[in-house]
């Protein structure tokens, strides 16, 4: 597999991660295949991971080729200076912008959930904007203002618009439109910007989600 390099800036390299690929090696032998190792082989140099996205999420993923660049990017993430946008296919019609400010707490089996009243939960906020609506689904843009695990997925579900397919938080059976099947979480890391480092990069919607959008339009 060859990773598509979207942008290089000094010691930073942004790639388009395909769905189904881990960022770093997993615990099992089957999960040793990962984006970091692929890029190391591709560029012939050591690679540092600047951030992570879920296995099934496609789109912009940032790496570094030296320790100083990795440190600069990591500090930008820690200070909340990184602007990220995602595209998501969700259930129902999202008719207007949403500002979802729902603290998140750890649930069972590695899942997250909205915090209960009086419970200690981590602040989490996501801005959602509809891009296109269909009969009973929407394509939305999500901007997470915090970086909690599974934040976008849990926030969308909390507002009654879970992802069209989500084995943890929504519909668990693959969806079919003729010869087009949706069997992964339809979440795509569309863009990433770090103004302090002069980095701005975008990844086009991958073929599988573009085909689903086309069928929804039909």
According to the model, what pLDDT value does residue 218 have?
Answer: 85
What CATH number does the domain containing 195 carry? 3.30.2350.10
The residue annotated as part of the active site, out of 31, 54, 166, 179, is 54
Q: How many CB atoms are closer than 10 A to CB 198? A: 10
208 among known catalytic residues: no
Residue-number span of the structural domain to which 110 is assigned: 4-217
What's the CA gap between 80 and 201, in Å, rounded? 17
Q: How many CB atoms are closer than 10 A to CB 46? A: 11
What's the CA gap between 105 and 213, in Å, rounded? 32
According to the model, what pLDDT value does residue 29 have?
Answer: 59
According to the model, what pLDDT value does residue 95 have?
Answer: 95
Number of domains the chain contains: 1
What's the CA gap between 6 and 206, in Å, rounded? 13
According to the model, what pLDDT value does residue 79 have?
Answer: 93
According to the model, what pLDDT value does residue 30 have?
Answer: 62
Per the CB < 8 A criterion, the answer to whether 91 and 182 are in contact is no
Per the CB < 8 A criterion, the answer to whether 61 and 181 are in contact is no
According to the model, what pLDDT value does residue 1 have?
Answer: 83
According to the model, what pLDDT value does residue 117 have?
Answer: 87
Q: What is the pLDDT along the chain (218 residues), one digit of tens a residue?
A: 899 999 999 999 999 999 999 999 877 656 678 999 999 999 999 999 999 999 999 999 999 999 999 999 999 999 999 999 999 999 999 999 999 999 999 999 889 999 998 888 999 999 999 999 999 999 999 999 999 999 999 999 999 999 999 999 999 999 999 999 999 999 999 999 999 999 999 999 999 999 999 999 98
């Amino acid at each position: 597999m060859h990773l598509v390099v979207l942008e290089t800036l000094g010691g930073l390299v942004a790639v388009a991660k395909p769905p189904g690929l881990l960022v770093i090696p997993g615990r099992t032998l089957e999960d040793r295949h990962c984006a970091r190792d692929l890029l190391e082989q591709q560029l012939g140099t050591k690679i540092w991971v600047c951030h992570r996205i879920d296995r099934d999420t496609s789109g912009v993923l940032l790496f570094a080729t030296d320790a100083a660049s990795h440190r600069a990017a990591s500090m930008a993430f820690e200070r909340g200076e990184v602007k990220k946008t995602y595209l998501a296919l969700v259930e129902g019609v999202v008719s207007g912008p949403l500002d979802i400010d729902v603290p998140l707490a750890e649930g069972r089996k590695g899942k997250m959930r909205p915090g209960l009243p009086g419970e200690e939960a981590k602040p989490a906020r996501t801005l959602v904007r509809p891009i296109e609506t269909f009969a009973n689904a929407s394509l939305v843009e999500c901007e997470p203002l915090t970086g909690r695990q599974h934040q976008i997925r849990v926030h969308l579900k909390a507002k009654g618009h879970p992802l069209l397919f989500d084995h943890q938080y929504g519909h668990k059976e693959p969806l079919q439109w003729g010869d087009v099947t949706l069997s992964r979480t339809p979440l795509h890391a569309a863009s990433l910007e770090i103004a302090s480092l002069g980095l701005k990069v975008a990844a086009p919607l991958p073929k599988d989600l573009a085909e689903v959008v086309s069928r929804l339009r039909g």
